[in-house]
Amino acid sequence: MTKAKVRSFFMYVFLIIVSFISVFPLYWMVSAATNKSAEVISGRLIPGTYFAENLKNLLANQNVGGAFVNSVKYSVILTLVSLVVSSLAGYGFEIYHDKVKDAVMSVILLAMMVPFVATMIPLFQMFSTAGWLNTTIGFILPTISTPFLIMMFRQSARSFPHDIMEAARIDGLSEIRIFFQMFIPTMRSTYAAAMTITFMNAWNSYLWPKVIMTDATSQTMPMVVANLTQGYVTDYGMLMLAVLICTLPTAIVFFCLQNAFAEGITGAVK
């Protein structure tokens, strides 16, 4: 009995240490965003009153408002388009599957192995010829359709009851309306999971926007944060406020839809 108690005591201590390490950098970020840089350097760990001043400095230094709007625009449009295209494809692969479609699906899965740097340069060339640098279409096009999402929706379509489909067909519903009016509402949790993961990836993407967003006015939030580290002297208060603003949307998604997000990253596995 005592041995078990000792063991569970150490288990809790271990978990508390790990949790502390996980949370501390984020706490530090929030606290630094509200303090003067000099106070941050001196080790102040309590939230301060310098938030407004940091915000003023940040807005004077970088076009945060524009970048935030850009990031929201790119991420929301990408998420919506991607969900429709990928789920329609996953549905098509599963509901109407035959040997040829299954073979096409396995070729698509191979695309998961293609590292982004291997396609980045030709994509950049193609997109600059097409005049898509600094545009929303340029941002979204490479990641609208992903093997991961198609696989995830293909798996979920497997559990879509066949009887319902037959009944709908007899009622004279067209195939596309069965998809929009029956499949999407039934698979709400899969869509929530896919939405969180797609939005997070879109918001956080850095390499691709860095390649095609050559104008300062088209920049995204992560790019603005990265810009701020370029100077010789770092204003930690201002920098951490930018990091905080960049993290806020994904943190909100994380807290509101944590289970959907967990399901999203593990989604295609089941």
Integer Cα distance of 84 and 268 in angstroms: 17
- Nearest CB to other proteins, comparing residues 37 and 55: 37
Q: How far is the CB of 255 from other proteins (least distance, A)?
A: 8
168 binds other proteins (CB under 8 A): no
Pick the stretch among 50-58, 62-70, 130-138, 255-263 that binds other proteins (CB under 8 A). 255-263
Contacts of residues 29-36 at CB distance under 8 Å and 24 or more positions apart, as own/partner, are 29/240, 29/243, 29/244, 29/247, 30/240, 30/244, 32/236, 32/237, 32/239, 32/240, 33/237, 33/240, 33/241, 33/243, 33/244, 34/237, 35/236, 35/237, 36/237
- Nearest CB to other proteins, comparing residues 45 and 167: 45
Q: How far is the CB of 115 from other proteins (least distance, A)?
A: 5
Query: In the set 72, 77, 80, 108, which binds other proteins (CB under 8 A)?
Result: 108
25 binds other proteins (CB under 8 A): yes
Question: Cα angle vertex 88, ends 85, 94, to 5°?
Answer: 140
41 binds other proteins (CB under 8 A): yes
Q: How far is the CB of 238 from other proteins (least distance, A)?
A: 11
- Nearest CB to other proteins, comparing residues 85 and 182: 85
Please name which of 63, 33, 58, 61 lies closest in space to residue 48, comparing C-alpha atoms. Answer: 33
Query: In the set 13, 14, 56, 167, which binds other proteins (CB under 8 A)?
Result: 14
Integer Cα distance of 33 and 48 in angstroms: 8
Query: In the set 46, 49, 52, 115, which binds other proteins (CB under 8 A)?
Result: 115
256 binds other proteins (CB under 8 A): no
128 binds other proteins (CB under 8 A): no
Name the token pair of 205: 């993407």
DSSP letter at 181 equals I
- Nearest CB to other proteins, comparing residues 51 and 254: 254
Please name which of 205, 200, 207, 197 lies closest in space to residue 119, comparing C-alpha atoms. Answer: 207
Query: In the set 187, 239, 241, 260, which binds other proteins (CB under 8 A)?
Result: 239
Q: Restricting to residues 72-101, which ones interact with other proteins according to CB under 8 A?
A: 85-86, 88-93, 95-98, 101
Question: Cα angle vertex 185, ends 180, 190, to 5°?
Answer: 105
Name the token pair of 165: 């489909």
9 binds other proteins (CB under 8 A): no
Q: Restricting to residues 189-228, which ones interact with other proteins according to CB under 8 A?
A: 203-204, 206-207, 210-211, 221-223, 225-226, 228
Q: Are 54 and 237 in contact (CB under 8 A)?
A: yes
262 binds other proteins (CB under 8 A): yes
Please name which of 202, 209, 205, 66 lies closest in space to residue 127, comparing C-alpha atoms. Answer: 209
